[in-house]
A and B are shown apart, each in its own frame.
Chain A
Amino acid sequence: MNVDEPAFDPAAPLTPTGNLRRRRAVSRVAESGATFAAVLAVAMLAIVVYSVVAEGASALSLDFLLGGAPDGIGPALVGTVELVLMATLIALPIGVLVAIFLVEFGGRLATPIRLALDVMNGYPSIIVGVFIFALIVEPMSSQSAIAASVALAMIMVSVVARGTEEVLRLVPDSMREAADALGVSRWRSVLTVVLPSAMGGIATATILGVARAAGETAPLILLSSNNPGVSVSLNPFEAVPNIPGTIYRLSEEANPEGFTRAWGAGFVLLALIMLANAGARVLLARSRRKMAP
């Protein structure tokens, strides 16, 4: 028997050679490229979150959280809550009603309205700020919490409306038909059948809107920035201090001590927003499970 002759290999026709080997290699390179991109994005998130936590945690203390400027962010925290709360009070009803209009009455008007909401979603927030400045601040000739909340509300509306629309569409038509068959009028069936079963989704959309509005900075720079936040102020007709504005101001000042405080404020803000996002996600998963047939 000749030693040079290769042993019989039953899998030989299945082993890639030549061109196929190259194609497979290309495929493998592409796959690892895609995987690397995903790793990169997660790493980016990890790096940013890690730096905020590492640098910000040292600034945290009870005095920092409750005290006034320049040492603490208490008034700014209260101000942000006030602004976001007022914005929610404006945006939630409008957003939900727009969504009801789109799903229940829409007709031919639905397309342009949906387009407007999409445009609003991609609207630069600085433009919203400039618009509200022209609309409210200039006539009143002073910055105010109201102006800032209206701007935040304008940013929230599209988030709430699109989220609510999505979940209203998930409400099975059979429920609407059942209500119709019982002779229930349209408005009653919307208020007592459709809306209650969409509650979870509406809550999710609202939380996402709140998370988006809480971190929004550009409008606040224009509309509610001339209050240093020494003490708590809740007057809606004056500028109120707020967390994003505080971080922005401290970051422009280039003072190392201010940087520490900015990290601390950033930590608080990021923690609140991440919590809200995680909460919204859990809520969404729960209401999806409930809605599933």
Chain B
Amino acid sequence: MSTAASSPLPRSAGPAARRRRDWRRSFDRFGDGALYAICALAALIAVGALALSAYEIVDHARPAIAKFGLGFLFHTEWLPNFGVFGAGVLLYGTLVSSFFALLIGAPIAISIGLYLSLLAPKGVRGVVSPLVEMLAAIPSVILGFWGIVLLAPFVQKHVEPFLHDHFGFIPLFGPPQTTGASIFTASLILTIMLIPIVASISRDLFLAVPRDVQDGASALGATRWEVVRGVVLPTAAPGVIAASLLGLGRALGEAIAVSQVIGAGEKINTSLFETGDTLAARIANQFPGAITGMHKASLYYCAAILLAIGLASNLCAQWIGRRFDYRRMATR
């Protein structure tokens, strides 16, 4: 028999064996404690990094917060050379571009979720599901580069004139500009980034809707769409909202791809086809070359605002998701 077991020794065991057993016990007690301590330390580092990041960013933004106060949020002039900073334009661009991305992306993504969970034959699902998730794996810098070189000219030549001609009475669809760099193009890029996240979460949610309830509806004569509208969507609704909020959070914080296609505009325009800028894109653009301390502090202030918005949408999503079922909300 192996000696690995530290089970009680026979009464007749000698003092040497007893000592070995005692030593082993205390060693194991130490090992248990050490493993617990290391794991707890790692968890503390992870949580601590999060807390520290919020503190550091707000701390570095302090000069700008002291000088501009909350008016920073609405002030629309950003003139680094004159020491005048306001994030109004950026806030507007961030909210508008993400909102439109969600407006276009969420219905598409939820439809994809429905297709993958309820309609697709098993073989097709096994192929399409990973492909949709692959969309999320495309690095944002490549998507942004593709956006500015290929998508923006296409949008400017074909999509924007079409929308302007047919829906021009809505002030959002103003005349197309010379380059395709615009809030609209940024929204489209964000849509592509947000679809795979929302789609894969909502697919999992729909798959978790109990089968027998759906069968019951079918047995009562409901068509497939009526089953979806009457049973599947209402059951999964909180989760779908949470998924959309997670997607929104992703869109709000995207810096690189947006800064490539949005055109770094300095004004608030009603037309979506004009350039604009977002908080994240402005940070990516100007942070490395910030000219004064106040410039940098203002960029930190932007980061703090972005952090607050992103955190709010993320926590909201977690809260809704957890109330629904926290086990299914693994975000990936």
Contacts and interface: CB of A to CB of B under 8 A. Distances in A.
A34 interface: yes
A130 B6 contact: no
Contacts of A130: 57, 283, 287, 299-300, 303
A33 interface: yes
- Most chain A CB within 10 A, of B29, B52, B130, B225, is at B225
Contact of B28 (A187, A218, A277): A187
A244 B284 CA distance: 13
A277 B331 CA distance: 17
A87 to B, nearest CB: 14
Contacts of B31: 185-188
B50 interface: yes
Contacts of B142: 48, 52, 215, 247, 266, 269-270
A215 B137 contact: yes
Contact of B36 (A34, A105, A222): A105
A172 B220 CA distance: 41
Most buried by B among A30, A162, A214: A30
Given A37-B112, A185-B32, A101 B45 contact: no
A154 B49 contact: yes
B128 interface: yes
Contacts of A281: 130
Given A31-B119, A124-B310, A269-B139, A134 B57 contact: yes
A130 B146 CA distance: 26
Range for the number of chain A residues in contact with chain B: 35 or more
Max count, chain B CB within 10 A of own CB: residue among A112, A120, A226, A248: A248
A221 interface: yes
A23 B34 contact: no
B223 A222 contact: no
Contact of B196 (A41, A52, A218): A41
A178 interface: no
Interface in A139-168: 154, 157-159, 161-163, 166
Contacts of A134: 56-57, 59-60, 300
A184 to B, nearest CB: 8
B310 A118 contact: no
Interface string A211-254: 11011111001100110000000000000000010011001100
A26 interface: yes
A210 B205 CA distance: 27
A23 B134 CA distance: 35
Which of A38, A48, A158, A248 is most buried by chain B, counting CB atoms within 10 A of its CB?
A38
Contacts of B34: 187
B64 interface: no
A4 B179 CA distance: 67
A89 interface: no
A139 B35 CA distance: 33
B288 A123 contact: no
B50 A277 contact: no
B223 A23 contact: yes
B149 to A, nearest CB: 6
Contacts of B260: 248, 251-252
B81 to A, nearest CB: 21
B294 to A, nearest CB: 15
Given A41-B132, A130-B283, A94 B112 contact: no
Interface of A is mostly: helix
Given A34-B111, A35-B119, A266-B142, A119 B284 contact: no
Contacts of A93: 42
A273 interface: yes
Contacts of A94: 42, 45-46
Contact of A218 (B38, B119, B284): B284
Interface stretch (B12-20, B249-257, B267-275): B249-257
Interface in B23-67: 28-29, 31-32, 34-36, 38-43, 45-47, 49-50, 52-53, 56-57, 59-60
Contact of B256 (A27, A121, A131, A221): A221
Interface in A28-50: 29-31, 33-38, 40-42, 44-45, 48-49
A251 B148 contact: yes
Contact of B192 (A44, A51, A129): A44
A76 interface: no
B291 interface: no
- Top-4 shortest CB links A-B: A124-B253, A215-B139, A97-B42, A37-B111
27 contacts: A23-B225, A26-B225, A27-B225, A34-B111, A37-B107, A40-B108, A41-B135, A44-B195, A45-B131, A45-B135, A48-B146, A94-B46, A97-B43, A98-B42, A102-B43, A104-B39, A119-B314, A185-B6, A185-B32, A186-B31, A188-B28, A214-B139, A216-B139, A217-B256, A225-B288, A251-B260, A277-B137
Interface of A: 23-24, 26-27, 29-31, 33-38, 40-42, 44-45, 48-49, 51-52, 93-94, 97-98, 100-102, 104-105, 109, 112-113, 115-131, 133-135, 138, 154, 157-159, 161-163, 166, 182-188, 190-191, 208, 211-212, 214-218, 221-222, 225-226, 244, 247-248, 251-252, 259, 262-263, 266, 269-270, 273-274, 277, 281
